[in-house]
Structure 1
Amino acid sequence: MSTYASPIAGLPDQMALHTGRAVFTEAYALIPRGVMRDIVTSYLPHWRDARHWVIARPLSGFAETFSQYIVEVFPGGGSERPEENPEAEGVLFVVAGQMTLTLEGKTHLLKEGGYAFLPPGCAWSLVNKSTEPARFHWVRKRYEAVDGIETPAAFVANEQDEPIIWMPGTNNTWGTTRFVDPTDVRHDMHVNIVTLEPGAVIPFEETHVMEHGLYVLEGKAVYRLNRDWVEVEGGDFMWLRAFCPQACYAGPQRFRYLLYKDVNRHAKLPF
């Protein structure tokens, strides 16, 4: 079973030096694991015994399509009313512990690697019935409905049961675990897992219209973000606006990240 990184929480020692890697630029943000501490968590309505690290939210002029939380739920905690926006779709991905998800009247146990797609307006709730805290990512986006195209259905999966689709010509060193068929235009966002084996590379500066959220699940790498090469490791989060150039050199261990991108819709026009 994979080991997924999650926030270290707590507080640093008072003698800790301010030499962290956190940065917010015009094209990207890097939120390293070391700044995801207790005092930056949020508490949201209708959640009990739970706290949220809000690591992305729409900002005018920056990434504008999604929000992303890391949610920690203590034993007995959860929510019967987690999502109050009927236009919001979501993805859950469990990185620690386990959660009981009730989705459209059916109950599912989501363990580490558990994945759930939540279409807009669906009925769902969560509770931690275990004796240990659980942590999961919650990615939210306002669904962009299209006339004549139906809304996708809810589903539950586990990434450890899904194949890695390797990029051609990479000798199975760079690939993606996909939970949705890329050609299924019912979906207007993908939340996938990208895997680079030790020493693998993304060999060109990807520059594209999709916004990205990249949460490093394990390993370390040197990542190109706009003009900069930055070191990243498990537990770091990168937030890229549209057309921010990106590339990667993986480190000595397998490097994997949870990837959000908006897809399959026309660009919005301001008139």
Structure 2
Amino acid sequence: MRTRTYHVPPGGHPAQTELLSDRAVFTEAYAVIPKGVVRDIVTSYLPHWDKTRVWVLARPLSGFAETFSHYLMEVAPGGGSKAPEPDPEAQGALFVVGGELTLVIAGAEHVLRPGGFAYLPPGCSWGVRNAGASPAHFHWIRKLYQRVAGLAVPEAFVTNENDIAPIPMPDTDGRWATTRFVDPTDLRHDMHVTIVTFEPGASIPFAETHVMEHGLYVLEGKAVYRLNQDWVEVEAGDYMWLRAFCPQACYAGGPGRFRYLLYKDVNRHMDLRALRPAT
């Protein structure tokens, strides 16, 4: 098995001698938050979290992405939370990219190392702490769960991407593959968090245009990504935020693999009342 690497934010601040120009962009259809923007000055702190700071990469925003939030968390040694999630209807997905994180679900402990993934359903009793000697970095994706009559709420689970075989996309000879933490046919789940991998030179050979919103955090490598009408260079540590129906495609630039953590909303009817004017 190949060695997997994950980008970890360096934090800090750029030197006064550096140019202020960057690749950051926010449009009506997409946003790009390059790794150079993920600095100390844009961190936040959360209630009931100790020795922890967060970079908020995406949040519900009227007229843009509306279904999810994406946090990049940094927990110092000895830090964590016994009451991390304030909303009982929110589900969560955690993905560890650096250090070691102890996750407690209903009293049971799980140690998550890089590549570790956890799904946390709404109402789940959970907490995390960093019992290690170095900071723990992980992604935390939150979404309000959409309940459906006759469908049970999914159970919590913990795994590691190294224990899951990537599934090649059809007709790609394995050059484009997806590591799926959840069975796509399991309709209890209304969001998918996956890892997409492209070998050097591989591509999405058409402009995907679909209703699912996306958050894409580049874990490894670089590529040229098509976003709406633009081609944008992205690399490890960059984040892309795509509105529903934003056309998208990419070419993996090499010399190594291009990999990203992907969020999308799935498996539910469209809300026909969301934009109805108040009466």
Tell me the equivalent position of 2:270. Answer: 267
Q: Which amino acid aligns with 2:177?
A: G
Please say if residues 210 and 262 of structure 1, whose CA atoms lie closer than 8 Å, have aligned partners that are also in contact.
yes
SS of the residue corresponding to residue 114 of structure 2 reads: coil
Which residue, out of 50, 66, 84, partners 2:68? 66
The answer to whether structure 1 residue 251 and structure 2 residue 253 are counterparts is yes
SS of the residue corresponding to residue 111 of structure 2 reads: strand
CA distance in structure 2 between the aligned counterparts of 1:6 and 1:206, rounded to whole angstroms: 29
Tell me the equivalent position of 1:156. Answer: 158
Tell me the equivalent position of 1:19. Answer: 21
Q: Which amino acid aligns with 1:245?
A: P
Tell me the equivalent position of 2:220. Answer: 218
* Gaps in structure 2 of 5+ consecutive residues: none
How far residue 3 of structure 1 moved from its aligned partner, in angstroms, is: 1.3
CA distance in structure 1 between the aligned counterparts of 2:228 and 2:170, rounded to whole angstroms: 25
The answer to whether structure 1 residue 229 and structure 2 residue 231 are counterparts is yes
Which residue, out of 101, 109, 112, partners 2:111? 109
TM-score (norm 1): 0.99
CA distance in structure 2 between the aligned counterparts of 1:172 and 1:88, rounded to whole angstroms: 35
Q: Could you list the runs of 4 or more consecutive aligned residues of structure 1 that deviate by over 6 angstroms after TM superposition?
A: none
How far residue 6 of structure 1 moved from its aligned partner, in angstroms, is: 2.2
Match runs of 1:1-271 below 5 Å: 1-252=3-254, 253-270=256-273, 271=276
SS of the residue corresponding to residue 116 of structure 1 reads: strand
Equivalenced residues, count? 271
CA distance in structure 2 between the aligned counterparts of 1:129 and 1:73, rounded to whole angstroms: 10
CA distance in structure 1 between the aligned counterparts of 2:239 and 2:269, rounded to whole angstroms: 27
Q: Which amino acid aligns with 1:174?
A: W
SS of the residue corresponding to residue 131 of structure 1 reads: coil
CA distance in structure 2 between the aligned counterparts of 1:206 and 1:90, rounded to whole angstroms: 26
Please say if residues 8 and 34 of structure 1, whose CA atoms lie closer than 8 Å, have aligned partners that are also in contact.
no
How far residue 84 of structure 1 moved from its aligned partner, in angstroms, is: 1.2
How far residue 19 of structure 1 moved from its aligned partner, in angstroms, is: 1.9
Q: Which amino acid aligns with 2:47?
A: P
